[in-house]
Amino acid sequence: METPNLIQKSIDTVRVLAADAVQKANSGHPGTPMALAPLGHILWSEVMRYNPKNPHWPNRDRFVLSCGHACMLQYAFLHLTGYEISLDDIKNFRQLHSITPGHPEYGLTPGIEVTTGPLGQGFANGVGMAVAQQYMAARYNQPDFEIFDYKIYAICSDGDIMEGVTAEAASLAGHLGLGNMIYFYDNNNITIEGDTDLAFDEDVSKRFEAYGWHVQNVSDIKDLQALRDAIDKAKNETERPSLINVRSVIGYGSPNKHNTAAAHGSPLGEDEVRLVKENFGFDPDKSFVIPPEVAEFYRKAGEKSAQHEENWNELYQNYKNSHPELAKEYEDITAGKLPADWHKNLPVFEAGEEMATRKASGKTLNAIAQYLPQLIGGSADLAPSTDTNLKDFKSFSAKNPDGRNFHFGIREHAMGAVLNGMALSNYLIPYGATFLIFSDYMRPPLRLASIMDICPIMVFTHDSIGLGEDGTTHQPIEQLIGLRTVPGMTVIRPADANETAQAWRVAIEHTDGQVCIVLTRQGIPIIDQQKFTSASELEKGAYILSDCDGEPEIILIASGSEVHLILEAQVNLKNENIRARVVSMPSWNLFDKQPADYREKIFPKNIRKRLAVEAGSPVGWMKYTTDNGDVIGIEKFGESAPADELFAEYGFTVENVVKKARDLLQKN
């Protein structure tokens, strides 16, 4: 039977486990898990709906530990409630190849919903999770069948609240009225450097009220009834996200280090851990002790929560009988099945005109959207410029949660993190768009998407000095190579309208990490697919667009808008009796995954004279051009001028390509 003494012992067990694990690892953050144990107890034993035996149950409540450094709190409760995390895993905290790393990692540890640690990211990911739930509910819920009604619970720290991405995401969540979010602000007033008043003294509650959130304050995290009452009120608040501002004491139970920075990011020390155990009535000579009655209590809490899935399964079966078409659609999408021949609806663009690849992207999106209800997205206030608006669909809003056009506002950082949260629904294919130069604002979520191996799609337009008069600040130079260096990220820079359509095909079908489609502002020629190789070869990353008669003397390589330059250069070189092969190379990442024999076919080892042409940093191209090759690239910032003048000024002309090719051939 649950008694106050058992509850207190259970909470204290989590505190001691956290202290022991950090001490054994000689690394980590003990203070916050010790402080948050009462809140964790309420969430895992009374509030959240989850099933330890099926961490992926679709209607489970999501838990986000935005302050990922406090992960021992989460690991402890996952272990205690019955997830596949053993006590040995707890003992191996922060060790090589363990499933209990120093910050939570999605896909590694059962029960972890999202990779967190970079502060503020988890906060914004939760907004995306909330969006996904509301969209799915709007599409699938029917009278008497609340199939999707899960909530997003998150804990965030002082550090999370300070990060700028939190301000962006909180503002957006309030505007959208995401009432399925219940966030806890762990207000402990301590950061690594000391008391938060060194740099932070704002009234967080008033700030979030200004964002449009429902805000409550709990003055003492140890007051379990106050926590219960606040959570109950938050659950009844359906039109605003909720923030519960909870006052805690970092390192609670540590006689000498509680309420100090010493309890934040370092082990307490062997002597202090002994004092913690004595303080909570544990044997100081024993470590990783879980009293049997505590183990039984939490295991039963996990089993009780699992009943929610059993009830849901019965509800879903009845729903499936009543609404078979909706159920089939949902099941196909979550199984990764796309409609048969959906790609046959991709537009085919005729040669003989020029079209910006951003325009081709917009036409492609609108051609396929009706066949893919899981495709939802928008831009950071740039839809008219990035051509990412779905013309036949409404905008997502509090009144229209079934809308598919998403307005992120001028919030690139939050956009990336929200997209990650949306992608984690295992349902949505979310996309977001901005200018390539502004990818710099969203590097953390781009990197985290790759770490998690999830598949949001980014559309980056205005991809070079070709954007023209906006000048130096808006012309990307180093961004392409920066994106290409992110492990697991697939970057595609299509050469024309038809390659753009194929880039969308690859992105939609891609199941192995994030895809970034990089597009032009300026019009570029549509390549004749009757005369040259089909753009469908884009899926291989690089392909022979136009070959010569006989063995090539030189291979010309380009991506994006520069491909038409090397096609023209090939003709001029042929007139000079120089045999040149033209390779369109929209994606290094896709090409590097091809079999060795295919890569050899495109770039034979014996043909070392190779010239790459790209309106960006030349860094990295040497991998493909070899030490006998060269690159026409850009190693300085741009200027404000019409695009045609800039391309000429920076050497992106047919004449310069031909000259560089000749120079290469004349070298030994």
Residues annotated in the binding site, as ranges? 29, 69, 117-119, 158-159, 188, 190, 264, 358, 385, 438, 462, 470, 474, 521
The one-letter amino acid at 336: G
Instruction: Give the H or E element holding residue 64.
Output: strand 62-65
The H-or-E segment that residue 165 falls in is helix 164-176
- For residues 417 and 125, the answer to whether their CB atoms sit within 8 Å is yes
Q: What angle, rounded to 10 degrees, do the helices at 292-322 and 4-25 form?
A: 100
Backbone φ and ψ of 192, nearest 5°: -60, -40
SS3 sequence of 504-565: HHHHHHCCCCCEEEECCCCCEECCCCCCCCCHHHHHHCCEEEECCCCCCCEEEEECHHHHHH
Task: State the binding site for thiamine diphosphate.
Answer: 69, 117-119, 159, 188, 264, 438
Q: Are strands 375-379 and 405-407 parallel, antiparallel or unpaired?
A: parallel
Measure the CA–CA gap between 64 and 43, rounded to whole angstroms: 12
324 contacts: CB under 8 Å, gap ≥ 6:
none
The two structure tokens encoding residue 575: 């007139």
Number of Cβ within a 10 Å radius of residue 662: 13
Rounded Cα–Cα distance for residues 271 and 400 (Å): 58
How far is C-alpha 12 from the chain's CA centre?
35
Concerning whether 412 is annotated as a catalytic residue, the answer is yes
Cα–Cα distance for residue pair 423/374, rounded to 1 Å: 10
Per residue, the 3-state secondary structure of 417-448, as one string, reads HHHHHHHCCCCCEEEEEEEHHHHHHHHHHHHH
Alpha-carbon span 306 to 141, nearest angstrom = 22
Rounded Cα–Cα distance for residues 131 and 129 (Å): 5
Using CA atoms in the order 469, 473, 474, 480, what is the torsion angle rounded to 10 degrees? 130
Beta strand pairing status for 524-525 and 354-355? antiparallel
The two structure tokens encoding residue 611:
């010239």
State how far Cα 629 lies from the chain centre. Answer: 36
| Triad 538, 541, 543: Cα angle to 5° | 70
Binding residues for substrate are 29, 264, 358, 385, 462, 470, 474, 521
What does the alpha-carbon distance between residue 571 and residue 244 come to, in Å, rounded to a whole number?
68
Contact 442, 379 (CB under 8 A): no
Q: Which amino acid is residue 421, in one-letter code?
A: G
Q: Which residues participate in the annotated binding site for Mg(2+)?
A: 158, 188, 190
Please work out, in degrees rounded to the nearest 5, the angle formed at the alpha carbon of residue 625 by the alpha carbons of 621 and 626.
110
CA quadruple 107, 108, 112, 115: dihedral sign: negative
Q: Which two tokens stand for residue 351?
A: 């040669």
d(CA 414, CA 172): 9
Catalytic one among 105, 163, 168, 412?
412
Taking each helix axis as running N to C, give the angle between helix 4-25 and helix 31-42, from 0 to 180 degrees, rounded to the nearest 10. Answer: 150
Name the residues annotated as catalytic.
412
